[in-house]
Structure 1
Amino acid sequence: MDRRHLLKALAGLAVCPLCTTTGLAAEGVHWGYEGEAGPAKWGELDTASKACAVGAQQSPIDISSTIKSQLPALKLAWGKTADTIVNNGHTIQLNFAEGSTLKLGDTTYKLVQVHFHRPSEHLVGGKNFPMEAHFVHRADSGALAVVGVLMAEGKANPAFGKIVATMPAKEGPAVKADSSINPNALLPKKLGYYRYPGSLTTPPCSETVEWLVLTDPIQVAAADVAAFAKLYPMNARPVQKDNRRYVLQSV
């Protein structure tokens, strides 16, 4: 394995830092968002990634019809800083030290990382947003909960602006993140959300994710979206079939 692929494998616990060996297996082969390595071919990468093609609960989806429900409040207790930032060849990602949590009902999840997609991977009523942030949490049981934050162009968001200003321009190992980047500033004021069972949106597409997509988007500067797009003009998986899954919406 040459240095470039080794970096991909290590940073590759990237979009799946939680999959350990399967994450590395998926990263051991090249995948991307276009052509022969694109999403239509992910299921053929290796045995670990077959769910990308044959899974019945794949993500993202188009959130169109929902069922209003008395869902538990998202109890977020995040720290005010990130640990490291990395350009892993697929996205820009911030990693977090121990201590930040999400409590959903009786389950407590630890915040592991946040990464970004352009355009948004989830659609709402057939429409996407300029970007989407995925805050990945893991419970001690191994269960995952991902908080999706849709990002619209508008007023500048200082936290995202600082991420864009300090993100590594080239793929490589993680470096210390700017101490002023507060993940809480990437959340809307209200934490209403859509909830459905799904998967990771990158290989190996494991169907182990409780998706919590916030109903209210945040605003970020168009210039910051454009700056991200210089590195990743398109890194979003197409929407997948809902296969009659119910999408619940908090009231």
Structure 2
Amino acid sequence: MKKVMLCAVAFGLTTAAYADADWDYKQTHQWGSLSQKYAACNSVNQSPINIENTVKAELQPLKFSYDTLIQSIQNNGHTVQVDFAQGGVLELDGEQFELKQFHFHSPSENQIKGKSYPLEIHLVHANAKGELAVVGMMYEQGKENPMLERMWKHLPKQKGEKVVLSKPQSVNGMLPQNKEYYRFSGSLTTPPCSEGVRWVMMKEIQTASKQQIKQFTDLMGHPNNRPIQPLNGRVIVEN
């Protein structure tokens, strides 16, 4: 059952789940009590976390091959989700994880050494077994971000609205030049909070303009970040 839940999220089926959602960000501490299917939200290896007290390790370099295009952008009421054609791949732990979608949170869900950022992106990947790997990147206020600017032109204004791009956009320019990262085990940050997710947080901080951040927060109308969860003995490694 856990794998089925993970597959559903990874393969872009979150829209229906969000549309029927019986949860919101006003009751994050109650998610695990809302339904039996959300019981994992009360478990011990949950995300997001505060990344600190890390352990240095010889982590394998991340291998991204994002030969794919953005096809659609949708507003599901909890976030803006961007969906792709096939072709984007992350090689992690000797396995191929295909890029399925990415979405945004403001303020950031994870923190780095106690610091929260105004915007965080989660790039969701799945391998052939339906296991998930999420790559996170932080944005701080600064220069306008060209990739975000191209996407923001197509932001769906209404909950449930989906914009299909007439000219699909490349995502090759989204990744940072510096591929150093933090690594930890965690969960989905929204119900059903399924665990076993391989988390990768990029160290390089991106920038987004004040206006770009405001566009997203105004569109959401509310913070869409889950509070920090306890580590419960988990180890965070970095290269």
Normalising by structure 1, we get a TM-score of 0.86
Question: CA contact under 8 A between 1:136 and 1:147: conserved in structure 2?
Answer: yes
**Structure 1 position 249 matched with structure 2 position 211:** no
Aligned pair 1:18/2:7, yes or no?
A: no
Q: Does 1:175 align with 2:163?
A: yes
Q: Is the 8 A contact 1:159 1:181 kept in 2?
A: no
Which residue pairs with 1:157 in the alignment?
Answer: 145
SS at match of 1:82: strand
Say whether the 8 Å CA contact 2:176–2:204 is kept in structure 1.
yes
Q: Which of 86, 103, 116 is 1:128 aligned to?
A: 116
1:82 matches 2:70: yes
**What's the counterpart of residue 6 of structure 1?**
none
Q: 2:99 aligns with which of 88, 99, 111?
A: 111
Three-state SS of the structure 2 residue aligned to 1:231 is helix
Contact kept? 2:132, 2:196, Cα under 8 Å: yes
**2: CA distance, partners of 1:128 / 1:166:** 27
Q: Is the 8 A contact 1:152 1:219 kept in 2?
A: yes
Encode CA deviations 1:45-99: one digit per residue, 9 max, x unaligned.
211101112x110000000111111111111101252011100111001011111
- Determine helix, strand or coil for the equivalent of 1:52: helix
Q: Does structure 1 conserve the Cα–Cα contact (< 8 Å) formed by 2:45 and 2:232? A: yes
Q: Quickly say closer, same or farther: Cα 1:132–1:171, change in 2 above 3 A.
A: same
**Any conservation in 2 of the 1:22–1:48 contact (CA below 8 Å)?**
no
The structure whose residues are more often strand, as a share, is 2
Query: SS of the residue aligned with 2:137?
Result: strand
TM-score, normalised via structure 2 length = 0.90
- Residue 99 to residue 222, structure 1, CA distance change in 2 (3 Å): same
Answering whether residue 226 of structure 2 is matched by residue 240 of structure 1, we say no
Task: Provide the secondary structure at the position in 2 that maps to 1:226.
Answer: helix
Equivalent residues in 2 for 1:207-246 (5 A)? 207-232=195-220, 233-246=222-235
SS class of match (1:227): helix
| Alpha-carbon distance in 1 for matches of 2:160, 2:19 | 14
Kindly provide the amino acid, as one letter, of the partner of residue 51 in structure 2: I
Any runs of at least 4 consecutive aligned residues in structure 1 with deviations exceeding 6 A, and if so which? 19-27
For residue 48 of structure 1, the aligned residue among 21, 37, 45 is 37
Match among 90, 104, 107 for residue 102 of structure 1: 90
The one-character-per-residue Cα deviations of 1:88-120 (angstroms, maximum 9, x if unpaired) are: 111001011111100013110000000000011
Shift of 1:177: 3.1
| Equivalent residue letter for 2:200 | L
**Alpha-carbon separation, structure 2, partners of 1:33 and 1:231:** 15
**Does residue 32 of the first structure (1) align with residue 20 of the second (2)?**
no
Over 3 Å counting, the alpha-carbon distance change for 1:178 and 1:210 in structure 2 is farther
Question: Which AA in structure 1 matches 2:231?
Answer: D
Equivalent pair of 2:187/2:195 in contact (CA under 8 Å): yes
Report which stretch shifted further, 145-154 or 177-186.
177-186
CA contact (8 A) 1:26 1:46 kept: no
AA in 1 matched with 2:9: P
Structure 2 CA distance, aligned partners of 1:133 and 1:162?
Answer: 15
**How many matched pairs?**
233
Asked if 1 retains the 8 angstrom alpha-carbon contact of 2:31 and 2:38, the reply is yes
Q: Is 2:194 the counterpart of 1:206?
A: yes
> 1:27 deviation in Å?
6.2
Structure 2 runs not aligned, ≥5 long: none
Q: CA deviation at 1:25?
A: 6.8
Taking only aligned residues, the RMSD between alpha carbons, in angstroms, comes to 2.3
Where in structure 1 are there 5+ consecutive unaligned residues? 1-12
1:127-169 Cα deviation digits (max 9, x unpaired): 1111000000000111100000111111111110122221101
Counterpart contact for 1:94–1:177, Cα < 8 Å: no
Q: Tell me, what secondary structure is at the counterpart of 1:140?
A: coil
CA distance, structure 1, for counterparts of residue 191 and residue 24 of structure 2 = 10
Alpha-carbon contact 2:71-2:169 (below 8 Å) kept: no
